[in-house]
Amino acid sequence: MELRQVSRWYGNVVAVNDVTMQIGPGVTGLLGPNGAGKTTLIAMMAGFLAPSAGTVTLDETPVWRNVSVYRHIGLVPEGEASFGYLTGRQFVRASAELHGLRDASAASERALDTVELRDPADRRIATYSKGMRQRVKLAAALVHDPSVLLLDEPFNGVDPRQRLHLMGLLTRMGEQGRSVLFSSHILEEVEQIARHVEVVVAGRHAASGDFGAIRRLMTDRPTRYRLASSDDRALAVAVMGLTCVRGVQMAPGSGLEVEVTDLGAFATALLSLARSASITVHEMAPTDESLESVFTYLVSA
């Protein structure tokens, strides 16, 4: 799926501004603060909202008002399903019938099994927990076996066991070659299942790619590393004299936390210092290559 210079405005309010990105096979995390335009982007990708400018295509075919393309896209919206009077089975079956599937009943049962919702499928959706409502929406989105799956905040209200199940399910779908894009504010979860991220801030495309690589491009602030050695205090004294080191502090428990402005220079000097002082370095690991640091940096930039 490709977005080319896509914008969407409502009167004088610009929700999405000149966004270009590609969503390929695998799992992609869509990140951004509230009001950044994530839901608007997903609605345009799903074909439910027309771009004010630019194009959204799937395999080079326009998505907007193209029914044949819709059959390859599954959407799990953030909003609650408003059909509480239906049972879970009826809700998923209705989606199968709307897609014109030959055996809507069999497709519905497969989708319910996939999200582990067959046992309570004959209960009304109004009686479901928030997590169960999320799963029945996912079943409805999967019933026609789409190649593209779009999920807007899919983990909201899902308990830990259900969350792990959904995370595993999305991971498997990505491994099967589907294009899975989901938005979430639970950054640790995004980090576990989506190494590739697209970041939007104030309607603009702020970053794209592997979040670790994005972090390493942030050269206007030091990178933080944790060091563990045979003599942490002696190592702290030694590295504080390096021009590429901006700060050193003892880490809670054991080890050091070092702020580095030039990783290459630091790594070379560290080995020399440790060898001359007869110190063994056991560990050197970044502490701020998480999604949290990338997201915070891009939002505040």
60 by Cβ neighbours in 10 Å (0-12 / 13-18 / 19+) ranks as: exposed
Query: Hey, how many other C-beta atoms are within 10 angstroms of the C-beta on 215?
Result: 19
Residue 291 has a pLDDT of 64
- Reported as a pLDDT band with limits 50, 70 and 90, residue 82 is low
3-state secondary structure of 32: coil
The mean pLDDT value for 152-174 works out to 87
Of 252, 256, 250, nearest to 281 by C-alpha is: 256
The more confident residue out of 184 and 104 is 104
Task: With a cut of 70, say whether residue 132 has pLDDT above it.
Answer: yes
Task: With a cut of 90, say whether residue 34 has pLDDT above it.
Answer: no
The more confident residue out of 261 and 301 is 261
The mean pLDDT value for 109-133 works out to 93
Tokens 């992609």, located at residue: 28
Residue 155 has a pLDDT of 85
Flag the least confident range among 85-89, 178-182, 281-285: 281-285
The more confident residue out of 192 and 11 is 11
Q: Which domains does the chain have, with CATH numbers?
A: 2-212 (3.40.50.300), 218-300 (3.30.70.100)
Residue 4 has a pLDDT of 97
Of 72, 92, 97, nearest to 177 by C-alpha is: 72
The mean pLDDT value for 52-69 works out to 95
Tokens 């959407």, located at residue: 75
Q: In the chain, which ranges are continuous DSSP H helix?
A: 38-45, 67-70, 88-98, 104-114, 130-142, 160-175, 187-193, 211-216, 232-239, 263-276, 291-300
Residue 219 has a pLDDT of 60
Decide if 226 contacts 60 (C-beta within 8 A): no
Task: With a cut of 90, say whether residue 75 has pLDDT above it.
Answer: yes
Q: Measure the CA angle with vertex 68, ends 62 and 72; round to 5°.
A: 85
CA distance 57 to 60: 5
The mean pLDDT value for 163-190 works out to 88
The mean pLDDT value for 164-186 works out to 90
- Centroid of chain to Cα 64: 24
DSSP calls for 230-298 = S-HHHHHHHHTT-TTEEEEEEPSSSSEEEEES-HHHHHHHHHHHHHHTT--EEEEEESS-SHHHHHHHH
What average pLDDT does the chain have?
89
3-state secondary structure of 163: helix
CA distance 250 to 74: 49
Task: With a cut of 90, say whether residue 76 has pLDDT above it.
Answer: yes
